[in-house]
Amino acid sequence: MAQKKKSTKKVAAKAKNKQKTMESLSQTHGKEEKFEPTTLEQVWGEETGLTKYGTTDVNDYIRKLDEMNKSDLQAHAHYVGFVPVDDRVSLTKKLITEFKKYVSGFQKPSTQPIPNSPVTDEVNKILSEGR
């Protein structure tokens, strides 16, 4: 008897469903995300609102963008220095990436001293052989 052929469409659909989208993937670098404050406002914890974006917190900025309607979003993009586009999603993504670049200028990574580990006699012996 002849075996029934499997539909290639079903197999392709199953393989397509198993693939992960780029948005669901994330990349880590292993560094701790702590920053030292560089301005007095950051040290005191005061947000004066005098910055170009009104905040230095990404979540607050995203919340502000979500609350804006399309015309407010385009006006904000013009104020920040972008040519506002008609697509709300791409404009929001562009504003968020530029906000992150802007905020990173005010944050410097914290410097943690590397603890000196004691060197054993065996390691000192190996290192002294090259002298």
Q: What is the pLDDT along the chain (131 residues), one digit of tens a residue?
A: 566 665 565 555 555 555 666 666 666 666 566 666 666 666 665 554 456 788 878 899 999 999 999 999 999 999 888 888 888 999 999 999 999 888 877 776 666 666 777 888 888 888 888 76
Residue 104 belongs to some domain of the structure: yes
**pLDDT given for residue 90 in this prediction:** 92
Q: Is residue 48 in some structural domain?
A: no
Domain of residue 92 covers 57-108
Give yes or no for a contact between 81 and 95, defined as CB atoms under 8 angstroms apart: no
Q: Give the global pTM.
A: 0.50
In 10 A of CB 42, how many CB atoms? Answer: 15
Cβ-in-10-Å burial (0-12, 13-18, 19+) of 14 comes to exposed
Number of separate domains in the chain: 1
5 located within any domain: no
